[in-house]
Structure 1
Amino acid sequence: MRLLNLPADREGRFVERVNRFLIRVRLSPGEWVEVHLHDPGRLPDLLTPGRRVLLRHAAHSRRKTQWDLLAFRKKDYWCFCHSGYHRGVAEALLRGTHPFGPFEELRPEPGVGEGRLDFLLQGPAGELWLEVKGVTWARDRVGLFPDAPTLRGLRHLRLLTELLDSDRRAGLLFLVFRREVEEVRAAAEVDPDFAEALARALDKGLAARAAVLSYDGKALYLERFVPVRA
């Protein structure tokens, strides 16, 4: 199922990560560019010098960097790595497949207390508060999140748990960009607090879904859903 058209403009080779949001890419011999990396994670098995990457021209010409990183080549596929598109991909997925059940209204960025989540779905079963996370790390066909300690992710899980404690429905959607993944788990060795919070939320009734997605350099597609385990 096609979810989002997003053609890449150029292929290059990853050279190095300059800082959290900036990498250097070689386009051709003697031609190097700085590229915006819209993923604050560690990307432990993707940031390898010489790895093929796909780039897209930046939408705003006044930006410091004129390129965005879209994907890294992993084995025989492209691993999409631009979290700025997660919300659009998730919305297309929700509208096209209803993984949390049917709904009549989808509201982005609803406020919850002093925080915000990604979506509020309103349907026949009532409201469902939803957060979306991207998975770009895998080991032995297990998708792992997070790949770096995430206070933001922990806050989101606590918000979802508070909603469950007040007898409201809450969900978590993992967008998995590793095609080999057969299940998703919390990376307890990276962030034990997040892992504990996820297990607690699942025990309380959190609706968790994980969608494996593919990217061919032109568009993002839904491949299948896989289980989320504590």
Structure 2
Amino acid sequence: MEFTKPLIPARLIRRYNRFLSDMILEETGQEVRAHCPNPGAMLGLKDAGMRCWLEPNDDPKKKLNYGWRLVELEGGHMAGIDTSIPNRVVAEGLRAGLVPELAQYANIRPEVKYGNGSRVDFLLTGDGLPDAYVEVKSVTLRDGDWAEFPDCVTARGAKHLAELTEMVALGHRAVMLFLVQRTDCKQFRLAAHLDLGYARAFDAARAAGVEAICYGTDITVDGVFFGHQMPVDPSPQAI
């Protein structure tokens, strides 16, 4: 997924009110307000002084002229903070056959109603195959080589796990796909210390047949692209 406009480097002053951030543009020194498209805790990604990349816009319908997209990390690594991007990246990966576990499905439909008033991120269908319900989660938390999810309590995430479990009980496939939006991780596990309830729901869902897979991303100032597969910790996550 390529960004629609060239990104502009800036330094973070502060992120607040969940969806707002103040930045200083590197080229001009101008202080601007940028939309922060991430309601999560953003642990380790919102420290004052961090180098960020903003996408400008000239849409008169938008209140802010900049959208925060990336954070630079140590060692030349990058993290994507926009939670709307993973679904677009996964859609490109599915259509290009980059997810071997799901490559046999010919039809890919986004945002299909299911469960109790929910919409599954993708419903995959194919001749002679069980329907596959795929939920996507954006992962930005890191501990050493581990990418972790979630970075705060997510009752909505636990609800999705329960609904995927119901799909398995009905004879369908259900897949939780974690997409790591940072380039400095090698494997994936849950952050049970931040949300034990989600970890318990995950263990129950996986025991019931919900599949858990994880993929990384390749991130540059040009875009966020579907990357390599990462191993998921096979042990119980609720500790």
Does structure 2 retain, via aligned residues, the 8 Å contact 1:54–1:217?
A: yes
TM-score, with structure 2 as normaliser:
0.89
Q: Aligned AA for 1:144?
A: E
Runs of 4 or more above 3 Å deviation: none
Cα gap change, 1:162 to 1:21, in 2 (>3 Å): same
User: Which position in structure 2 is the counterpart of 1:125?
Assistant: 129
Matches within 5 A, 1:44-63: 44-58=43-57, 60-63=59-62
Q: Secondary structure at the match of 1:158?
A: helix
Q: Which amino acid aligns with 1:17?
A: R
Give the match for residue 100 of structure 1.
101
Identity across matched positions, percent = 29
> What is the TM-score when the length of structure 1 is the normalising length?
0.93
Question: 1 CA distance for matches of 2:29 and 2:56?
Answer: 20
Are 1:10 and 2:16 an aligned pair? no
How far is 1:180 from its partner?
2.4
Structure 1: tracts of 5 or more residues without a match: none
Give the secondary structure class of the aligned counterpart of 2:100.
coil
Q: Aligned residues, how many?
A: 227
Q: In structure 2, list runs of 5 or more residues that go unmatched.
A: none
Q: Work out the CA distance in 1 between the residues paired with 2:114 and 2:226.
A: 29
The equivalent residue for 2:184 is 180
Output the aligned Cα RMSD.
Answer: 1.6
Give the structure, 1 or 2, with the largest relative contact order (CA under 8 Å, sep 6 or more). 1
Equivalent-residue separation in structure 2 for 1:191 and 1:210 (angstroms)? 19
Shift of 1:161: 1.2
Contact 1:8-1:70 at 8 Å conserved across structures: no
Residue of structure 2 in register with 1:64 after alignment: 63
Structure 2 residue aligned with 1:80: 80
- 1:169-208 to 2 correspondences below 5 Å: 169-208=173-212
The answer to whether the 8 Å contact 2:92/2:226 transfers is no
Identify which of 116, 119, 128 aligns with 1:116.
119
Paired residues for 1:125-164 under 5 Å: 125-164=129-168
Matches within 5 A, 1:32-43: 32-43=31-42
Sort the Cα spacing of 1:51 and 1:227 in 2 relative to 1 into closer, same or farther, 3 A. same
Is the partner of 1:162 in helix, strand or coil?
helix
Bigger shift: residues 32-41 or 157-166: 157-166
SS state at 1:41 partner: coil
Which residue in the other structure is 1:211 paired with? Answer: 215
Distance 1:109 1:132 in 2: 11
CA contact (8 A) 1:79 1:214 kept: no
Structure 1 residues 30 and 220, CA, compared in 2 at 3 Å: closer, same or farther?
closer
Matching residue within 18, 21, 37 for 2:19: 21
CA contact (8 A) 2:140 2:181 kept: yes
User: By percentage of residues, which structure has more strand?
Assistant: 1
Structure 2 counterpart of 1:91, which letter? A
